[in-house]
Amino acid sequence: MEGVAIRASGLTKWFGDGDLRRTAVRDVTFEARFGELLYVVGPSGSGKTTLLSMLSGILRPDGGSVSLEQTDIWSLKADELARFRLDKIGFVFQDYHLFPRLTTAENVAVPLILKRRPWDQAIAQATAQLDEVGLKDRAGLPPVKLSGGEQQRVAIARAVVSRPDFLILDEPTASLDGETGRRVIELVRREMLTGNRCILIVTHDARIFEFADRILHLEDGKLTGVEQGHLAS
Amino acid sequence: MSGILRIAYRLLVNDRGKFAALLIGITFAVLLMIMMTSIYAGVMSRASATIINTGASMWVMDRGVTSVVSSVPLPDYVLDAVRSVPGVKYAVPMFTGNGLVKLPDGDYQAVSIVGLDDSTLFGRPRMLAGRIEDVYADNGFIVVKDAEYSKLRSPGVGTQFELNDHRAVIVGIAQVASGSLFGIPTLYTTYSRATQDLPSTRFTLSYVLVEPKSRSDVPAIEAAVDALGYRALTRDRFIARTAEFYKYQTGLGVNLLLMTLISFIVGMSISGQTFYTFILENLEKFGALKAIGARSSELIGMILFQAAFTGLTGYGLGVGLSALLIAMAKLRLPTYAAMITFGNLGVAFIMVLIITTVASYIGVRRVLRIEPFDVFRG
């Protein structure tokens, strides 16, 4: 384990106003280190996704602060924050959100293209990344021609293709069967977790808890406990 | 093309169904708009055919004249009076009217007769066969070889027929810049023969054609003619007056304008709605792009590019299709009055710009309002 990657302090978020106000995340404080694979778990509606969104710079908190690599991300301007996300954070969305009209390689190349890499170079790097997740032969196909597990791996390849320091996965096994889900997380743990990267996974899938270094338990928006993962113990 | 625009391009054209619907909407709108405005331009050009073909700088006429075909005969003294106006270089008489030709097979065909000044033949057409001087020969007429020419059984030099019970001989074949609106052939002859052969009222002078000494003399000539109780108009103003007559007195202009507007609205509805659906279907993907790190300006650029690409492609297809349809129509119907002008193209282009601007504005608004957080929430 190396230095502090994420420092969340007093994170609070509520939705609605007046009598309708509902607090989704309440005063959450924790730290995560580089080289660490951290789970945020809890029942549905516990505020996992809201917390993840605040940590990754896409939902502004109503209270508290988030530092990624010593940068207070919520003090950045909108364009600076977008650039920070592009440079530092890789996302794997629950529904993958792959472009059905682009090929698999083009989908993976999207972050590189947003970084103004030349098209051919971006596609070549994306194809190499697909090779790392075992999908090189699928590079020219549209995502709809792939299985759920393969689409998940494409989404992971897209998330890591620009070598981000933070990898954020939202319910990565929700649409997969148990065995495929385990294989995907195993791949993430084995291939994507490096000493320079911190991985945050939101899940309620207990079958994959074994791959975590630490598990944060969230309930009704509050951090109720931090558990060492089986690997760490 | 930058990588982001290339993604935008692929998202657009790879969605073939939507892209086809977008193109059809804009192409259809452009086709209708260009067809309508081209018919309008064609009709207006033909309505002013006599003015364009004669080439006179100024026309003197009765104040009651609303278009070039509805001349009101002037007393002969008007010609002398105009000639005496300071600033007039020369003035010549002109006759326009209609006659009835009895063809060799016994059929009758209405014709338009233009009587040119005997001394100068001012306003003469460009000769394709024969000599213009031959119009002075006995019963000499020059036939215009235009879309209506065949209605006289395509006569050659030397062909004879009856014109209002007078013998007429074709002594030449000519060409003019613009065909007539009313679908009847045109014959040129001298002013004196025209007024002799065609039944007329007490006065026979249709117009006095005037050439001013300089452009600066035009206002003074107009004022002097006005003082005589008549009207003098420059060529362009007479064309405009004729056009106004057809636009507002016949309802033609208003109808064509309404059809153009309806085409625009239909095109905007189809394209706007399809583009909006296209954006809606990709909304989550745009949200994902936002989450990954795309800036709002980049997303706006993608949408504007998609709208502009669709608009320009649809515009090109619409223009091409219009030109093809008009060309095909003219092959079958040589009298078909439609012409594509730069003005028509400009109007259609501006309307396409409006359609694409509205469609992209709606799309941009939706995309800017999508929050990456919504993508996480699913």
Residue A232 has pLDDT above 60, yes or no: no
> pLDDT > 70: what percent of chain B?
99
In three-state secondary structure terms, A62 is: coil
**Contact check, Cβ <8 Å, B15/A101:** yes
In this structure, what is the dihedral angle of CA atoms B208, B209, B214, B220, given to the nearest 10 degrees?
20
Q: CB–CB of A217/A42 below 8 Å?
A: yes
**Angstrom distance (rounded) from CA B352 to CA B355:** 5
Nearest neighbour of A83 by CB, restricted to B15, B282, B293:
B293
Residue A117 confidence class, pLDDT cut points 50, 70, 90: very high
Nearest CA in chain A to B284: A97
Nearest CA in chain B to A57: B291
Which whole-number Å values give the CA distances from B238 to B53, B66, B233, B245, B321, in the listed order?
13, 9, 6, 11, 33
> pLDDT > 90: what percent of chain B?
40
Residue A171 has pLDDT above 60, yes or no: yes
A35-57+77-228: which CATH architecture? 3-Layer(aba) Sandwich (3.40)
Closest CA to B118 of B89, B93, B99: B93
Residue A2 has pLDDT above 60, yes or no: no
Q: CB–CB of A189/A211 below 8 Å?
A: yes
**Contact check, Cβ <8 Å, A85/B293:** yes
Residue A28 has pLDDT above 60, yes or no: yes
Structure confidence by residue, pLDDT tens digits, A83-92: 999 999 998 8
Residues in chain B predicted with pLDDT less than 70, given as ranges, are: 1, 335, 376-378
ipTM: 0.84
Nearest neighbour of A113 by CB, restricted to B4, B290, B372:
B4
**Angstrom distance (rounded) from CA B209 to CA B60:** 6
**Contact check, Cβ <8 Å, A94/B14:** no
In three-state secondary structure terms, B86 is: coil
**Contact check, Cβ <8 Å, B15/A106:** no
Count of residues in chain B:
378
User: What tokens does B78 get?
Assistant: 């008007």
Least trusted range by pLDDT, from A160-174, A197-211, B140-154, B333-347: B333-347
Please tell me the distance in Å from B311's CA to the nearest CA on chain A: 21
**Angstrom distance (rounded) from CA B247 to CA B44:** 9
Measured in degrees and rounded to the nearest 5, phi and psi for residue A90 equal -110, 135
pTM of the model: 0.75
Chain B residues with CB under 8 Å of A99 CB are 7, 11, 282, 285
Q: CB–CB of A149/A140 below 8 Å?
A: no
pLDDT for res A1: 43
Count of residues in chain A:
233
Q: Where are the domains of chain B?
A: 3-46+252-377, 75-229
Find tokens 């799309």 and name the residue.
B363
| For range A39-50, the mean pLDDT | 90
Residue A74 confidence class, pLDDT cut points 50, 70, 90: very high
pLDDT for res B300: 92
Structure confidence by residue, pLDDT tens digits, A89-102: 998 888 888 998 89
Q: CB–CB of B315/B349 below 8 Å?
A: yes
**C-alpha radius of gyration, chain A, whole number:** 17
DSSP state, A221? T
| For range A151-167, the mean pLDDT | 91
**Contact check, Cβ <8 Å, B293/A53:** no
**Contact check, Cβ <8 Å, B293/A86:** yes
Please tell me the distance in Å from B319's CA to the nearest CA on chain A: 29
User: What tokens does B4 get?
Assistant: 């982001």
Please tell me the distance in Å from A2's CA to the nearest CA on chain B: 26
Q: Give B92-143 as a DSSP string.
A: EEEEEEEEEEEPTTS-EEEEEEEEE-TTT-TTPPEEEEE-GGGGGSTTEEEE
pLDDT for res A172: 86
